[in-house]
Amino acid sequence: MSVKSTVNARMEKLKGYLGEKGLKATSQRDRIADAFFRTTTHISLEELLKRVKRKNSSVGYATVYRTMKLLTESGLALERQFGDGQTRYENLPEDGHHDHIICIKCSMIVEFHNKKIEDLQAETAKKLGFKVLNHKLELYGYCRDCA
């Protein structure tokens, strides 16, 4: 899928969610959502605000915060805390779920997917009688350069 069609599909989903909630689209919210939907990494509110401000300087932190809260509630954004006190957001991956390994020295974040781990988690949850909706697995340590 091209970037444009991916962004458009995400905007359509957001419109649907806003409609369900009886919320109107606003141009500022659309711009913030558009900028976020184009990101391919884990972005903080400050970083996102910087990007949006390049095109529209009247957008403020509170609007970015509220928009990202809405996107998280709608399931379009995933909220991540990697232990440095900063909340970061990422788009739902097109290619499915992934987990993270984080360097506590240089803050490098690497995404990984391991089917064995995923299966083991599903099996464990099943044994405990849980229907799992989502999970986050984060490994912390030192990367090759920092070790």
List CB contacts of 46: < 8 A, sequence separation 6 or more: 61
By CB under 5 A, tell whether 106 contacts Zn ion.
yes
The arrangement of strands across the sheet holding 87-91 comes to: 43-44, 87-91, 77-81
Nearer to Zn ion, 23 or 139 (CB): 139
Contact region with Zn ion (CB under 5 A), list: 3-11, 41-49, 66-74, 108-116: 108-116
List CB contacts of 34: < 8 A, sequence separation 6 or more: 7, 11
Contact letters (x/-) for Zn ion, 84-103, by CB under 5 A? ---------------x---x
Residues lying near Zn ion in the complex (CB under 5 A) are found at 99, 103, 105-106, 108, 137, 143, 146
